[in-house]
Structure 1
Amino acid sequence: MTELKTEKARTGVEGLDDILAGGLTRRHVFLLEGSPGAGKTTIALQFLLEGASLKERCLYISLSETEDELRDSALSHGIDFGDTIEIFELVPPESLLDEDQQQSLLYSSDLELGETTKLIFEAFERVKPHRVVIDSLSEIRLLAQSSLRYRRQILALKHYFSRSEATVLLLDDMTSDQFDKTVHSVVHGVVHLEQLAPDYGAERRRLRVIKYRGQAFRGGYHDFIIRTGGVAVFPRLRAVEHRIDFERTTLKSGIAEFDDLLGGGIERGSSTLLIGPAGTGKSFFSLQFVESAIRRGEKAAVFLFDEELGLLFARTKAMGLDLEQMRDEGLLHIEQLDAAELSPGEFAQRVRDRVAGFDAKTVLIDSINGYQASMPGENALILHMHELLQYLNRQGANTFLTVAQHGLVGDMKSPVDVTYLADTVILLRYFEAMGKVRRAISVIKKRTGRHEDTIREFKISNAGLTVGEALSGFQGVLRGVPTFVGERGPLMALSDEDRNNS
């Protein structure tokens, strides 16, 4: 067999090689385990196809599936591997199926285990492969019948393969005792696959590298999906690994009164949270910064969890903000997401792709309420959001998040508290005055500099967004029902058209 130059055998699975620090160490035996349907066969085929693309000899030894089933599985991903992969379909020898050949002095399992091992070695010697997949160990475990015989059989396979240049991937469907760690102690590395079924929505899949001798790897759980073309893995984001140098300039929204409220604007590489009841204008304030970035010649990315894309285009265009044109000109990436079909890891990867590949310098996530729906729990949401915001900040991108609070006026609750994560927090409120429902805005936190501590009224009309003077003559605006305490109330004129837009 020819000497292989590379030390790692890449798996060919998007994202998995990053987690494994380059792939699988050559000339070693690895275990890929998971329940039926988790994606083992698909990953195994991608592993062999990657080897075939490098002109390596590849062997798939199947103890459970037929060759036709394997080829059909590959075709479902649009892959026809032809004769680039040698498939050895291991079937029981005819003598073991013939009743006349059965004898009672030895258990049939003793003969079957020996015959199975012999056939595996014969196929290996015939092909002399660089990459081998054995699917699956559950068949060998059943033939072994005891943990001791099973361990000895796995050790025999390991020692046999160690004399060659082959990189071996063993598959285990974990249909027997899931606490049996016999193979874990023998193999060089273990990758565990899981398939989860949420109460609503598509199944979620994740993997974890349990063991990898002599190699640092990316620990923890990593989301992955099975799509046409194969498995795609989304490595867990670690913001500390991603940092670029950039100038921390002050960015403006384009609305002078709003920028004054923010103390001149927001700093590049910071995050801003807009929080308030539904309909107060959180998205529209965020989109002002999106438009401002595009006017500066930068690109932006908008991720919508709640609003339908066509409705957003029509609504903002009526107010003088043509998002559709920005998208068509290649300056804006905007997409509508389905939280029921999206894992947190996949979403983080989409954001990273837009920042790294599309060079987006402004990112809007609307809203955290929808993003939370894709999370298994609030604690996970906080951790995912922390890493994502840190990553975006270190890339010099400005992030805008919206959170819709429960209620309209008075005491309101947020579904999750992320105010401590954001560098700037902007609060929007409805309030009643002079028999009319109005809107108010205030900045309650800004890490990167000074800001006004006033409360300003604003209105949204076909002319766009207008921010007024500070409401110095009122008290209790943020509670929703203010009292007039000044000599005059600097309220903005509110027309019938404005009320309809509210």
Structure 2
Amino acid sequence: MTKKTAIARIETGVRNLDALFGGGLPKGSIVVIAGPPGAGKTILTQQICFHNASARTRVLYFSTLSEPTAKTLRYLNQFDFFDAGKIDGGIQFVDLGAILRTKGLDGAFRLVMDHVKKVKPSMVVIDSFKVFDDLAKSKEELRKFGYELAINLMAWETTTFFLGEFGQSDIETNPLFSIVDGLIMINQRQESGEQRRVIQIVKMRGTDHSREEHSFAITRAGIDVFAPRFTIHRAAVEGKEPRLKTGISRLDELLGDGIPRGSTLLIAGVAGTGKTVLSLEFIYRGAKAGEKGIFFSFEESEARLRATARGLGWDLDAEIERGMVEIVFIPQPDILVEGHLLMISERILGMKARRVVVDSVSVFLHKVRDPQVDREKVFQLASVIHNAQAVGFLATDIPYGTNQISRFGVEETVVDGVILLSSTEEGLERQRYIEIYKLRNTAHLRGRHSVLIGPGGLIVYPRYNAEAAFGEPPPPLDTARRLPSGVPGLDGLLGGGLLERSVTLLSGSAGIGKSTLSMQFLLEGCRREEPGLYLALEEGPAQLIRTAEALGLPLQEAIEKGLAEVIYLSRERVRPSQFLSLLTDKIRTQKTRRFVLDSVSHLAAEGIAEDELRQLLYALITRFKALGVTTVLTLESSAMYSSETVTDRRFSPVADNLVVLRYTPMPGEIRPTLMVVKTRGSEHDFGAYHFIVGKGGARIGRRADLGAPLAAKNIERRRRTKK
């Protein structure tokens, strides 16, 4: 069997054009380059000629437009591909205009062939071939002229270009197109508010070429073909590198094991939710950790982004100076989607960036009206990032008043993850939230989480902890390890004290002594060198210290020794959804062993939904148990006397121990009464006991006889009925 010989190819010197031909232009082909005036036919051909012209590869460039060579060269001099040293020695310009006017097609044919025989060129150009249509007396004469010229040039093994202002009707009727090997159509048209130049290889014998239209631009370098659809492909890259940690405050807690390398995330939200700040911090934190990042901005200039960073306390200028960060600003009117796609790819690979931001993709694609094209371009962006094994953040604006999670409604189907930023009006303020809507191949925390923007950047407050979502549950309570409550007489009722790491709920009527019992619990730990934290939601530290002094409780002394801390959190300063993160940091820093939250009722009064509050408490308790903390929660009951309802909002399941404090009516007075309703993992006293609050705090007194109080209540009820 005879081995087949591959067709030799010629490099065009035009970016991406060789790829569209499937490896270059077939050598010896006769190619028509057609298009309207000003489309770029001449520049394309001259670029190919200058790229190939040399002493061994001669080029003959015939002009039928009677344009002086000096004018042609002056025009060519503005392009980078022009090389004056190649004139005459490599490329020779010949004017056919004069001989066409005097001797017609036959004279032009003889002149062309005389120069071909003399120069022996590798390439021949006739610009413009359309002139022959006007001079030919019939289609038969034109066909004969074209056929003879083609056969003779083929005999000399030249690669030939015929340029002309041919349209679709010419292709269908002109006999030239049945002779030539290739046809390249160049056009320009108004599209989505801008002039768009396109090139299409309609025909090219001997090649498996692209048949689609591809955008191009005419720049100082010459013709620049973009063709991202043909040149950007998603490569098969094995993800062996560790996952990326953003370095942004607690955002990594939401992202589980981190973002897989090669992933693209959509950063979606309405205006003002923090997309640019999040994206900029993503780049900045990466640079500080030794990862190069590039920020493509279509909205904010580099100067404004630098100023934003300085306002947040980041030294982004230093990272730019040392080459860790690049900011590329493209003003919105200058956007050329396919051209800038190619630029983005080259800049990422050139910098070897590991973090990429496009802010925003909705502005980048704002002129595109076809959702399928939007989807395709986002996929190409994602492919560029994937191939570089970087991680990309693509910001997108969500239209107001819709349920969309992207501007065009298709981006989320292409990317690997979506981070939703939102804001809601709560009271007189607008509060920000963040949600990991999706992240492929990653177990992430779900739901909305509070976020603040301030000095230092984004502060994320996960509303529940990663351990609860992904890790093992905290170990069971050890019934052999008991902690004294600090309240005389209470430990006996509890079966020996509070279990270590347990949660106790004090449900009490207003003013009955819940805070006092909580302080005694905390101070007992301080006496045993167990650091304690008291979180007050109603009274400030000064008021609590004054109350403790009046009762003779050494709270101030414990604070001065560093064994106790009292903090007050108001709604103006912090929201309940931020408690988990704030308190976790405090507990870890101070190695807290005992914690008091006074009171849960204040959280309920802030308008939090019952299920949301219960989930928050469960998250707090789970985290505290995992950290080895024993906790007391106070809850105010709306019932002053009745103990039939332990808690008003069904919080009982979150607690290991339930202690109910109620008033008992007695003849001429009411007395505080305490009952242990539940202790997990141990027996307890089910009786009701009076207790007294005085110097030294609260102490348990004698067992209450509820028969007399109940009779007194019945007498009082009958007396009121008679009235």
TM-score, normalization by structure 2: 0.60
The answer to whether the 8 Å contact 1:305/1:367 transfers is yes
Secondary structure of 2:272's match? coil
Task: String of CA shifts for 1:86-124, please: whole Å, max 9, x gaps.
Answer: 111012349x65xxxxxxxxxxxxx61222222222222
DSSP 3-state at the match of 2:314: coil
Pairing 1:68-467 to 2, within 5 Å after superposition: 68-77=70-79, 79=82, 81=84, 82-83=87-88, 84-93=90-99, 112-174=104-166, 177-180=169-172, 182-198=175-191, 200-201=193-194, 203-238=195-230, 239-240=232-233, 242-375=235-368, 377-407=370-400, 414-417=406-409, 418-467=411-460
Q: Is the 8 A contact 1:261 1:454 kept in 2?
A: no
Aligned-partner SS, 1:399: strand
After superposition, where does 1:26-65 map in structure 2 within 5 Å?
A: 26-53=27-54, 55-65=56-66
Specify the SS of the correspondent of 1:430. strand
Contact (CA 8 Å) 1:372, 1:378: kept in 2 or not? Answer: no
Deviations 1:323-362 (A, max 9, x none): 3332221122221113433322211111211232221122
In structure 2, the residue matched to 1:499 is: none
Following the alignment from structure 1 to structure 2, what is the Cα–Cα distance between the partners of residues 151 and 473? 85
Q: 1:210 to 1:461 in 2, by over 3 A?
A: same
8 Å CA contact 2:247–2:286 kept in 1: the answer is no
How far apart are the structure 1 equivalents of 2:394 and 2:211? 28
Q: CA 1:187 to 1:464, structure 2 compared with 1: closer, same or farther past 3 Å? A: same
Q: Does the 8 Å contact 1:43/1:230 carry over to 2?
A: yes
* CA drift at 1:412: 6.5
Q: Which amino acid aligns with 1:116?
A: A
Q: Which runs of 5+ in 1 are unaligned?
A: 98-110, 475-481, 491-502
Contact 2:234–2:383 (Cα < 8 Å) also in 1: no
Aligned residues of 2:7 and 2:26 also touching (Cα < 8 A): no
- CA-CA distance at 1:284 after TM superposition: 1.8
CA contact 1:263–1:451 (8 Å) conserved in 2: yes
Q: Deviations over 1:180-224 (max 9, x none)?
A: 3643332222221121224644x2212111112121224422221
Quick one: which of 591, 594, 608 aligns to 1:484?
608
Alpha-carbon spacing, 1:301–1:55, altered in 2? closer, same or farther (3 Å): farther
- Evaluate the alpha carbon distance shift between residue 315 and residue 226 of structure 1 in structure 2; reply closer, same or farther with a 3 A threshold: same
Q: Is the contact between residue 28 and residue 168 of structure 1 (CA under 8 Å) also seen in structure 2? A: yes
Q: Any idea what the Cα deviations from partners look like across 1:155-185, whole Å, max 9, x if unmatched?
A: 2111111111311111122269444364333
CA distance in 2, matches of 1:338, 1:378: 23
| Structure showing greater Rg | 2
Conserved 8 A contact 1:21-1:216: yes
Conserved? CA contact 2:268–2:405, under 8 Å: no
Residue 488 and residue 10 in structure 1: after superposition, are their counterparts in 2 closer, same or farther (change >3 A)? Answer: closer
Secondary structure, in 3 states, of the residue corresponding to 1:416? coil
Deviations 1:60-90 (A, max 9, x none): 0001141233212202325353434211101
Give the unaligned 5+ runs of structure 2: 1-5, 465-574, 578-605, 617-723
Matches of 1:346 and 1:121 in 2, distance apart? 41
Tell me, in whole angstroms, the C-alpha distance in 2 between the residues paired with 1:294 and 1:65: 59
Contact 1:301/1:360 (CA < 8 Å) preserved in 2? yes
Matched residue, 1:100: none
Instruction: Give the CA deviation at 1:423.
Output: 1.1
SS in 2 for 1:484: coil
Taking a change above 3 Å as real, the CA distance of residues 414 and 65 of structure 1, as seen in their structure-2 partners, is farther
The alpha carbon displacement at 1:245 in A equals 4.0
Equivalent residues of 1:272, 1:424 under 8 A apart: yes
Q: Secondary structure at the match of 1:168?
A: strand
Q: In the TM superposition, what is the alpha-carbon distance from 1:263 to its structure 2 partner?
A: 2.1
Counterpart Cα distance in 2 of 1:159 and 1:241:
44
Give 1:30's aligned amino acid.
V
User: Structure 1 residues 189 and 321, CA, compared in 2 at 3 Å: closer, same or farther?
Assistant: farther
Matched residue pairs, number? 463
* Cα distance change on mapping 1:373 and 1:145 into 2, 3 Å: farther
Task: Give the residue type in structure 1 aligned to 2:119.
Answer: V
Q: State the 1:135 CA deviation.
A: 0.6
> Root-mean-square deviation (CA), in Å?
2.8
Deviation at 1:241, TM superposition (A): 6.1
Q: Percent identity?
A: 26
Deviation at 1:270, TM superposition (A): 0.8
**CA separation of 1:445/1:74 partners in 2, compared to 1, >3 Å: closer, same or farther?**
same
CA 1:161/1:382 → structure 2, altered by over 3 Å: closer, same or farther?
Answer: same
How far does residue 401 in structure 1 lie from its aligned partner after superposition?
0.5
SS at match of 1:470: coil
Tell me how far apart the structure 2 counterparts of residues 214 and 376 of structure 1 sit (CA, whole Å).
36
TM-fit CA distance, 1:303: 0.8
- Is the CA contact (8 Å cut-off) linking 2:296 and 2:328 kept in structure 1? yes
Q: Is the CA contact 1:155–1:186 (under 8 Å) kept in the aligned structure 2?
A: yes
| 8 A contact 2:192–2:369 mirrored in 1 | no
Distance apart, 1:250 and its partner CA: 1.8
With over 3 angstroms needed to count, the CA separation of the structure-2 counterparts of 1:208 and 1:242, relative to structure 1, is farther
Secondary structure in 1 matching 2:152: helix
The superposition leaves residues 231-279 of structure 1 with CA deviations (integer Å, 9 ceiling, x where unpaired) of 1222334544634444252211113521122224211111101111111
1:316 is matched by which residue type in structure 2?
A: A
Counterpart residue type for residue 213 of structure 1:
R
Residues 1:325 and 1:186: Cα distance change in structure 2 (over 3 Å):
farther
Q: 2:10 aligns to what?
A: 9
Residues 1:303 and 1:141: Cα distance change in structure 2 (over 3 Å): same
Higher relative contact order (CA 8 A, sep 6+): 1
- Conserved in 1, the CA contact under 8 Å of 2:66 and 2:98? no
Q: Give the Cα–Cα distance (whole angstroms) in 1 for the partners of residues 431 and 136 of structure 2.
A: 76
Residues 176 and 184 of structure 1, relative CA distance in 2, 3 Å threshold: closer
Q: Is the 8 A contact 1:237 1:388 kept in 2?
A: no
Cα distance in 1 between the residues matched to 2:237 and 2:440? 21
